[in-house]
């Protein structure tokens, strides 16, 4: 497994396929309709404009196994040191440690960017993701009950957070 910085031209189709599998077959994304390549264009543009990383794990043939990123958490100026992250793994590569490697990489990117808090919004029934976050030092910060309705049932959204030792000198404004 090799970590790469994902680019629209190289990785958008593979990321789109991973997103759409998660939408259709899981509660990892609280969405109903598949995303499109237009969606991916806007998604990558937002990541680039805000200097948010998109880290991919590729196999020896260069195929994308999974990816991780982060983005804004509440778009208010005082939240500038907090981001919400996500990690997704292509279905044939789950259970192989890909998400752990990607999460470690995104945490390191957050430190390098002088961020302070990473937030993960996880479906409360997703025991695998919750266990991964706990293993990495995340703590449960609260659960919103019945935050979404998908697959004929109400879904609870659990928030997990990791507080980093950065930035050394946070500033107002």
CATH number at residue 149: 3.40.630.30
Handedness of CA 67, 87, 51, 44 (dihedral sign): positive
The pLDDT of residue 123 is 98
Instruction: Classify residue 169: in a domain, yes or no.
Output: no
d(CA 39, CA 12): 10
The pLDDT of residue 18 is above 90: yes
Average pLDDT, the chain: 97
pLDDT at residue 75 above 90? no
Domain that holds residue 11: 2-163
Residue 126 lies in a domain: yes
pLDDT for the residue 72: 95
Phi then psi for residue 50, to 5 deg, are -100, 5
The pLDDT tens digits of the residues spanning 25-74 come to 999 999 999 999 999 999 999 999 999 999 999 999 999 999 999 999 99
Lookup result for tokens 């990123």: 69
Q: What is the pTM of this model?
A: 0.93
Return the structure tokens found at 146: 């019945």
User: What are the structure tokens assigned to 122, written together?
Assistant: 């996880």
Q: Is 99 a member of any domain?
A: yes
Q: What is the mean pLDDT of residues 156-173?
A: 95
pLDDT at 98 over 90: yes
Classify residue 139: in a domain, yes or no: yes
Considering the domain boundaries, does residue 158 fall inside one? yes
Is 168 a domain residue? no
Residue 173: pLDDT over 90: no
Q: How many domains, the chain?
A: 1
- Tens-digit pLDDT profile for residues 124-137: 999 999 999 999 99
Answer whether 125's CB lies under 8 Å from 104's CB: no
């Amino acid at each position: 497994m090799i970590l790469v910085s994902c680019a629209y031209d190289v990785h958008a189709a593979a990321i789109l396929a991973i997103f759409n599998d998660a939408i259709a077959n899981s509660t990892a994304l609280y969405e109903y309709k598949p995303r499109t390549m237009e969606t991916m264009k806007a998604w990558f543009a937002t990541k680039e404009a805000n200097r948010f990383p998109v880290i991919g794990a590729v196999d020896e043939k260069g195929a994308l196994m999974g990816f991780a990123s982060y983005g804004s958490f509440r778009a208010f100026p005082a939240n500038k040191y907090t981001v919400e992250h996500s990690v997704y793994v292509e279905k044939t590569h789950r259970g192989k440690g890909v998400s752990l490697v990607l999460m470690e990489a995104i945490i390191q990117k957050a430190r390098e960017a002088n961020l302070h808090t990473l937030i993960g919004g996880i479906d409360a029934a997703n025991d695998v993701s919750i266990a991964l976050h706990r293993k990495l030092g995340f703590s449960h910060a609260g659960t919103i009950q019945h935050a979404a309705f998908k697959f004929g049932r109400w879904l609870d959204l659990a928030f997990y957070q990791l507080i980093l030792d950065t930035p050394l000198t946070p500033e107002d404004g």
